[in-house]
Structure 1
Amino acid sequence: MGRAPGIREGRRMTQRTRTIRNAAIVGVSTALLGITAPVTATASATTGPSKPLTWTDCEGGAADPRQQCATLQVPMDYADPDSPLIDIAVSRIPAEDPDARRGALLLIPGGPGGSSLNDPSKKGQKLPQEVRGTHDLIGFAPRGLAPSTAVDCGLEYGDLATSRLRPWPAPDGSVDGNMVAAQRMADACARNGGELMRHLSTANEARDIDRLRAALGERKISAWGVSYGTYVGAVYAQLFPHRTDRVVLDSVDDPDPARVARAWLAGHEQGVEDVFPHFAAWASKPGNPDRLARKAADVRPMFLRLAARLDREPIPWPGANPEELNGNVLRQTMLDSLYRPSRYPALAELMRAARQGTVPPAPEAPPEDVLQNVAGVGAGTLCNDVAWPKSGAVYQKGVDESRAKYPLTAGMPRNAMLCAAWPYQPREAPVRITDRGPSNILLVQNERDVATPFSGALKMREALGRRAVMVTVDSTGHDAYLAEGNACGDRTVSHFLATGERPDADTYCE
């Protein structure tokens, strides 16, 4: 097998690629509409030979000088024994106590479009000593994401705006413009994405992980997956159940096998309803320099009135993308800001400025090539995982229902992303998460999470059955473990990673 012809080589890791966190696209996928599944690459068929990794200094350095980097080669197409190879960039910090070493802990990033390549140096260092001492910390850039062999769609610059990648309807609720944009963006991905675009999927990422496990020389691997990484981790544990050691799924996706990421997009309806009251309480608290109202009950109607006004009368916003503050940009800022309380001031600042007819300085955007790469990985993964409806009428019905019930999100969570015009059929059916396999999974979930709401996490808990125990944390924000300062939740997860011992039953941490 040779290297994939015509695929852009993975770019060397630069500071800007290391600092990009999560995908610019979130959510996506729908009912299985005539899925064809010619792929027959079973779990056992994908555990082919993997050469040992050659560890070197990381190109451009790393936050922690102990971090090393390597390149893993995997088949682009696991169903083709003659498939060309693609590169997966990998990193590690070896276990700090070699004599007590147990194995490897894989840090699975969110997204799709997120990287954990620098996580051994960063979030991995938050882990307690008893975990860092006994486990190599492993990061990677998933297939398609630089500096692994990279893809992008060559989207128009305006289509890289988060408020465009998220499918916000027109002010009157129409989805016609979204369907036009979906066709334009899907055409660009088909034209510019190359053959690798067709082989981006969650199942293939799980297969890549198993090749990585083998290349590390590990019989089993532990994992800490966050956000979309929880779905990747669950799919890996389903395809390779006896290759798993200790698995933590943090901020948990709904594993709905009929909709997959389209269920994640729909989850924002409830996620916003769960978190907005927390924002409103903060925004009305006396002494808060960003206070918006005297009472929490006044913040919601204030936001809805302001968004409606900006729908009618956008404010020019030089340097932003798009170059105006309209209702959907405000709504997107709201969604972004509810990811964690530390972001609340950004929404309050924007609301306060808009009420006065002004705008704050335009937010700094990542480099365009990074946005293109992240958007391409997100598009390919989300659209290849499951088929989407093609009819605008399906989306219009959902948007109308959503707008009536969940006005804060204005119908976006049920609208059409570019997958509605995706030119390729999924190559295999989505992996159904079940309770078959070892009981070695711990879920940890904040009660108030805008991106992966508690209601979706319960569905993963139900699907895994006896395989899992769930720790619910009385916290607000996206990411639970070692992120929100909840001592009970952090202690429970750390104990499991260090000892393999979980609570006897589902647990609530105040």
Structure 2
Amino acid sequence: MKQITKLAALVAAAGAVLGLAGPGGASAAPPDRLDWTKCTAPGLDPRQQCATVGVPMDYADPDSPEVRIAVSRIPSEKPSTRRGALLLVPGGPGGDSLSDPSGKGQKLPQKVRDAYDLIGFAPRGMAPSTAVDCGLDPADLGMTRLLPWPAPDGSVAENMATARRTAQACARNGGELIRHISTANEARDLDRVRAALGERKISAWGVSYGTYVSAVYSQLFPHRTDRIVLDSNDDPDPTRVTRGWLAAFEVGVEDNFPEFAKWASRPGNPHRLARTPAEVRSGFLRLAARLDRHPLPWPGVNPPHLDGNTLRQTMLTSLYDPDDYPKLAKTILAARKGTVPPAPQSPPESVLQNVAAVAVGTICNDVDWPGSAAVYQKDVDKSRVEYPLTAGMPRGPMVCAALSYEPREPAVRITGRGPSNILLVQNERDVATPLAGARKLRRALGDRAVMVTVNSTGHDSYLDNGNACGDRIVSRFLATGKRPGSDVYCE
């Protein structure tokens, strides 16, 4: 899931950044220079350094309070061939990339690590940057509450009640900062980070929601972009934004469940569920319906039972990565016997509260959501018929149905204006960011972009769930700037 707040005429009335006009806007004060120190978090590469940079909470108000953005880096491994800095832009909203220079950044080929300082960051609102917290009831932090899974009969009444509770808590406890968390402001913050790094231009590898952040950055600050990789791409429709991404789950599940069903019906699979893929699907639907009627106690899970929606949520998260198929199969096998698998580990409540608050701020500030339960009910009823695996959830009401901050800045419209320096990489079967949405981003970017479609399954393509062909093309682009002359398909 993924989004933009207030700052009404800011794009048109942008100020100067370090004396250089920029369409994204900023206050006139120059940004901090980064004071790098050793990172204190455990398990990091000893070369990783950490710093913070100050940014205005409200870019439309030069006197607004300062927000601190936490930044990390591992410097280029070969300074003589260093090109610049590569931003590792995380998914979310509610993700950060502070540990990524030590983590996935080390999977980058040597020529790429030689060419760039690898830069991670925690977006505004995410600890250890200046953080927000809505103080939600712990019961409302469960995934089947945070995502709008409807009641067994399809009713969205309880979803609307959850939305109201969550909205009231965020309005009460989120403070002023939550009103200024948005994709456009994250992009503006990244330009302040770029300036603090002392870079005239910056490269980026954005993943999932990070593709939208990176696309918005490329729209607001096209003259500041070097080489931009968008990996697992969101539909940039400015009229829907997160609402469109949530709805895309119904398509993403239908694109991906057949791969799970083939795996789960394969002879010799120790987690085999049925003899044929069709039987895997029908069996899943029957089991979910049975658990809707007769949930199983599941201590240690939030909520503490395995009902139909918990099974559907387990299915959804397991389809992100084929390596997680056994988790779903084990849950199904246990539930068939009237038992449950061991409870999965959950992050600390403080982390869940922080992630939820950042997500609320982003998705509710980026675009308007309808406030009428009837609108959602009509869409949910239709979705349940057409996409039974997701039971209507992708069309349901999230917290934004009951929370709106005004005035809201219009969502950034992605266009083809700017340098031709963007490479999209997209798996053909991706549950969270389906190919259909990636094609819309590709069309919006026009001549600025080339897209590599990868014959692979799972979310996150480059150096993860893609294939060697796609990885090779992206690595060459980052290291040398060479892209294919047109869109390509990697078998």
- TM-score (norm: length of structure 2): 0.96
Q: CA deviation at 1:485?
A: 5.2
Comparing 357-366 and 246-255, the one that deviates more? 357-366
Matched-pair contact (CA < 8 Å) for 1:56–1:70: yes
Give 1:483's aligned residue.
Answer: 464
Match among 89, 95, 108 for residue 114 of structure 1: 95
- Uncovered stretches (5+) of structure 2, i.e. residues with no partner: 15-22
Match among 213, 225, 232 for residue 244 of structure 1: 225
Is 1:74 matched with 2:74? no
* Post-superposition CA distance 1:131-184 (Å, at most 9, x none): 100100000000000000100111111100011101001100111111111001
Question: Structure 2 vs 1, CA of residues 84 and 47 (structure 1 numbering), >3 Å: closer, same or farther?
Answer: closer
Give 2:17's aligned residue.
Answer: none
Give 1:38's aligned residue.
Answer: 8
Distance 1:363 1:129 in 2: 36
Is 1:384 matched with 2:334? no
Amino acid at match of 1:339: Y
Match among 422, 425, 434 for residue 453 of structure 1: 434
What is the 5 A alignment of 1:245-264?
A: 245-264=226-245
Amino acid at match of 2:401: A
Distance 2:31 2:417 in 1: 27
- Uncovered stretches (5+) of structure 1, i.e. residues with no partner: 1-25, 30-34
What is the 5 A alignment of 1:225-304?
A: 225-304=206-285
What is the 5 A alignment of 1:98-247?
A: 98-247=79-228
Distance 1:39 1:169 in 2: 38
- TM-score (norm: length of structure 1): 0.92
**What stretches of structure 1 move > 4 A for 4+ residues in a row?**
none
Amino acid at match of 1:251: S
Match among 52, 58, 63 for residue 33 of structure 2: 52
Q: CA deviation at 1:36?
A: 7.9
Matched-pair contact (CA < 8 Å) for 2:364–2:404: no
Is 1:339 matched with 2:339? no
Question: Structure 2 vs 1, CA of residues 233 and 47 (structure 1 numbering), >3 Å: closer, same or farther?
Answer: farther
Distance 2:466 2:254 in 1: 23
Q: CA deviation at 1:363?
A: 1.1
Distance 2:54 2:224 in 1: 20
Distance 2:490 2:423 in 1: 14
Is 1:394 matched with 2:375? yes
Matched-pair contact (CA < 8 Å) for 1:47–1:210: no
Matched-pair contact (CA < 8 Å) for 1:387–1:426: no
* Post-superposition CA distance 1:420-471 (Å, at most 9, x none): 0004235200000000000000000000000000000000001001000000
Amino acid at match of 1:352: L
Matched-pair contact (CA < 8 Å) for 1:269–1:409: yes
Instruction: Report the secondary structure of 1:504's partner residue.
Output: coil
Is 1:424 matched with 2:394? no
* Post-superposition CA distance 1:347-394 (Å, at most 9, x none): 000001111111111111100000000000001011100111000011
Distance 2:70 2:388 in 1: 42
Instruction: Report the secondary structure of 2:121's partner residue.
Output: strand
Comparing 492-501 and 479-488, the one that deviates more? 479-488
Comparing 41-50 and 186-195, the one that deviates more? 41-50
Distance 1:51 1:143 in 2: 16
Matched-pair contact (CA < 8 Å) for 2:234–2:437: yes
Instruction: Report the secondary structure of 1:450's partner residue.
Output: coil
Distance 1:44 1:162 in 2: 34
Instruction: Report the secondary structure of 2:55's partner residue.
Output: strand
Amino acid at match of 2:40: E
Matched-pair contact (CA < 8 Å) for 1:222–1:246: yes
Identity of aligned residues (%): 71
Q: CA deviation at 1:484?
A: 2.2
Match among 418, 421, 425 for residue 437 of structure 1: 418
Q: CA deviation at 1:323?
A: 0.7
* Post-superposition CA distance 1:292-343 (Å, at most 9, x none): 0111110110000000000000111111110111000000000000001011
Distance 2:6 2:204 in 1: 31
Distance 1:241 1:450 in 2: 30
Distance 1:281 1:387 in 2: 40
Matched-pair contact (CA < 8 Å) for 2:426–2:435: yes
Q: CA deviation at 1:45?
A: 3.2
Structure 1 vs Structure 2 CA RMSD? 1.3
